[in-house]
Structure 1
Amino acid sequence: MEDGRKYPGWEADQEFLRKQRENVPEWYVTAGGSFFTPNRREHPGIPLPFAGDFSIGENRFRVLGVYSCGKGLAVDLCRELDPKAFQAYLEKWGLPLDADYRDLETRFGPGALLQIEVENPFRLEFEISASVNGKESPGSESISRVYLPGIEGPWEDVEAHWLLSHYGLEKSKGWEIARYVFPWSRRREVETLSLTVKEAGKELPGTPFQVRAGERVALRHPVTGRMVTLTALEVKEKTLDMEAPFPELGNWEFPQCFQRLVYTLDPESGEEETITLRDAAPMDRPRTRDGGAARFPGAWGYIDGEPVPEASSIGVLGEADGPTATVAGAGPEAVSICIIGGADGPTAVFLAEKREPQTCAAYSSLRFQPVESVTWVPVFPHPEAEALTVELERTE
């Protein structure tokens, strides 16, 4: 897999990286958060004779090393990656290796961006815990490095080269190497060791649709095939009734128009399978009042009129990929307004209104002009996976 982009000083950088790859640091394992910059105040981990492998879907994992450290047990795992599959994925969507998430959201919109994330062949999230001598220990932190053959220049991960050299992995293949740490109060003898892994839940986009008040739409879960009928009770254009919502932001103005869809689902969406809706189109970017096109700096947000730093990290409403706010069975909550912002300005509008049970409301991306038509993307949870427990074998 090759990137092919070059720049002034490329050759000099390649020579520097070549020397870096050859200068492999001392192997010093601790329960800290790094492969090659360990806390030297902690004694190095003692290698333990355990081995094993397991699969999550089509992903095959192998235990590379197990280390008994002062503050916890460290386990290094690897999985082989398919560079050709990743190259095909990049080409399909026209993605560069160093794609900026905010640029992708503006280019594709939140609905398509979710599909891009789902199709990423390297994407895999799972929970992991260890059982040491029969005592359960959840993982506290993890780090990982990815190696793809042919990646050069600023996109190259030198630490990944070092890891391949240490563990003797083939450099003609793609790899992810990850370290998981399971803390303990003191170092102990490890007689038996097992790992329990469970694939984490993820969101799955369904078929986009448009709907008018009074119409019904059949929604199909992309994996289970379960059918749900959405009935649109109300579709209205709305405008945030705020004359100057962000006086602290000076010359910037922000979109305030959106569409509200009030609907019901039949059968109802339960806690185990919450269905949400996303606007397929991105929000309009903030603009300067003098017509400038500069990017809005920083992340921000307002909740009930109070500024909130880094609001994009707040709960399920603080996603930077556009408004995902959905009120499902809002019940007796009082009316409140919450504007959540990412680095490009407000990205979600959340209105919790007093409604009849099982009535839902979704809100489109913010626009400068009235929102007459919205393409909605239904988002379903992935079916819950079963946990897998793997007993590691002693090799001596």
Structure 2
Amino acid sequence: MFDYRPSNIRKEWVPIKSKIPEWKVYFDGNFWGHHDRERAGKEVSLDKQFVWDDEVWHIPAIYTCTKGLVVDFCKQVPSERIRFFMDKWNLSIEDGGSNFTDEQRMQIDAENPLAININRKVVLNGTVLSGTHNCGLSWNPCFPEGNCTEAKNVIRHYGLNPAYGWSIWRAAFPWAKKRKPQITTLRITLMQGPVAIPGPHFHVSAPGERIEFTHPITGAQHTLIVQEYAQHEMSRELFHRKNQEFPTYCMVMSYTLSPDLPDGAFTVTDCLRSDQPRQKITNPNEPQVLTGNCVGFIGVAYGSPAINYGGREQSKVHVICSALHFKPVDDVEWRMVFQEKNRKDVMVELI
């Protein structure tokens, strides 16, 4: 995911005035450098441009390295779209919106014009290459002085128009065989990743309840049927830090959908976050101290895990857990979350 702010922005913003480094691309490196003695890749200029729905994309070059192929993707964004997005959410270079709710963050992620949420398929000489790692940065024309040196280097090297916003994504693909091949054909398919869309909230009091809802994209009517609903206490043996206490109480719900939705297209999550771990009390007169650690495997943010059971001929049973708390919970406000892909794949012939 790309931030709308220049890549070097932290809590205290200081304009960068360092010298733009020499342009070199390494298979095991990123925009900020590399960590071993590998040789820089050979640049193959392509200057490929294509339109994906309403977005203009550039693939200015690829790099053939000893270990594999590196591809740079650049998404062009009109400055007006960035400014509209920032004004809508009252964002600034100093304030990135740390006080937003989870639902607001989902909406911001979905609307951020500088975000890149894609998967890719690379076919080299008829053979699919599996990607291993990628990195990204962005150029925001609304704050030109705040853009990082690495972003300035990309803009300069590829001759990109700095009046536009740019999302720049670099991906690496190992060769299918140990020896570097001679490239005769190369094509790339880009596939948008699902976007999280917040849905209705609801409460559950007992198994058997039926919650009807309308899909926000398709408009189809669905029913969520609660199969089981009960309090649960996690085993303390799951937590191994002796000097900390972790929340262990949650609600567990299993449900079916009628009609069902594809795997990964729908889930349910707690509207609250888990309680933060705290230091164990050795002296009862000492105040409790919360730590900065998160209970990361359940209920912390949107996207709590669901477990599917059942075959193709019957409704799958989905199991979801609420956020974790130090005391038993009686009532949970649940939120539906839809994962939707709203654009078709695009295939681009590069060579």
TM-score tier after normalising by the smaller chain length = 0.7 to 0.9
Percent of aligned positions that are identical: 26
TM-score, structure 1 as length reference: 0.69
Q: Does 1:264 align with 2:260?
A: no
Per-residue deviation at 1:147? 1.1
Distance in structure 2 (CA, Å) of the matches to 1:115 and 1:392: 34
Structure 1 77/114 Cα, relative in aligned 2: closer, same or farther at 3 Å? closer
Distance in structure 2 (CA, Å) of the matches to 1:49 and 1:253: 56
Match of 1:374 in 2: 332
Distance in structure 1 (CA, Å) of the matches to 2:62 and 2:10: 40
Structure 1 368/95 Cα, relative in aligned 2: closer, same or farther at 3 Å? farther
> Which region of structure 1 is more displaced relative to structure 2, 279-288 or 379-388?
379-388
Q: Contact between 1:56 and 1:199, CA under 8 Å: does it hold in 2?
A: no
Per-residue deviation at 1:169? 1.7
Alignment of 1:180-329 (within 5 A): 180-184=171-175, 185-213=178-206, 214-236=208-230, 238=231, 240=233, 248-250=241-243, 252-271=244-263, 275-287=266-278, 289=281, 292=287, 294-298=289-293, 312=296, 317=297, 320-321=300-301, 324-329=304-309
Amino acid aligned to 1:79: K
Amino acid aligned to 1:70: T
Distance in structure 1 (CA, Å) of the matches to 2:343 and 2:81: 24
> Which region of structure 1 is more displaced relative to structure 2, 380-389 or 191-200?
380-389
The number of residue pairs the alignment matches comes to: 337
Distance in structure 1 (CA, Å) of the matches to 2:259 and 2:191: 28
Distance in structure 2 (CA, Å) of the matches to 1:53 and 1:82: 16
Q: Does 1:67 align with 2:63?
A: yes
Per-residue deviation at 1:324? 1.5
Per-residue deviation at 1:94? 5.5
Show CA shifts across 1:85-108 (max 9, x none).
Answer: 44554555566658799x66xx62
Distance in structure 2 (CA, Å) of the matches to 1:293 and 1:148: 43
Per-residue deviation at 1:277? 0.7
The structure that is helix-richer by fraction is: 1
Query: SS of 1:261's equivalent?
Result: strand
Amino acid aligned to 1:221: H
Match of 2:136 in 1: 144
Show CA shifts across 1:316-358 (max 9, x none).
Answer: x467426824343379xxxxxxxxxxxxxxxxxxxxxxxx974
Structure 1 298/36 Cα, relative in aligned 2: closer, same or farther at 3 Å? closer
Per-residue deviation at 1:157? 1.6
The gaps in structure 2 that reach 5 residues or longer are none
Distance in structure 2 (CA, Å) of the matches to 1:135 and 1:325: 34
Q: Contact between 2:273 and 2:323, CA under 8 Å: does it hold in 1?
A: yes
Distance in structure 2 (CA, Å) of the matches to 1:67 and 1:243: 50
Distance in structure 1 (CA, Å) of the matches to 2:92 and 2:286: 30
Distance in structure 2 (CA, Å) of the matches to 1:243 and 1:189: 56
Amino acid aligned to 1:183: P
Distance in structure 2 (CA, Å) of the matches to 1:145 and 1:295: 33
Q: Does 1:129 align with 2:121?
A: yes
Structure 1 230/132 Cα, relative in aligned 2: closer, same or farther at 3 Å? closer
Structure 1 291/95 Cα, relative in aligned 2: closer, same or farther at 3 Å? farther
Distance in structure 2 (CA, Å) of the matches to 1:243 and 1:133: 53
Distance in structure 1 (CA, Å) of the matches to 2:24 and 2:346: 30
Per-residue deviation at 1:128? 1.8
TM-score, structure 2 as length reference: 0.76
Alignment of 1:48-197 (within 5 A): 48-90=44-86, 92-93=88-89, 108-109=101-102, 111-151=103-143, 156-184=147-175, 185-197=178-190
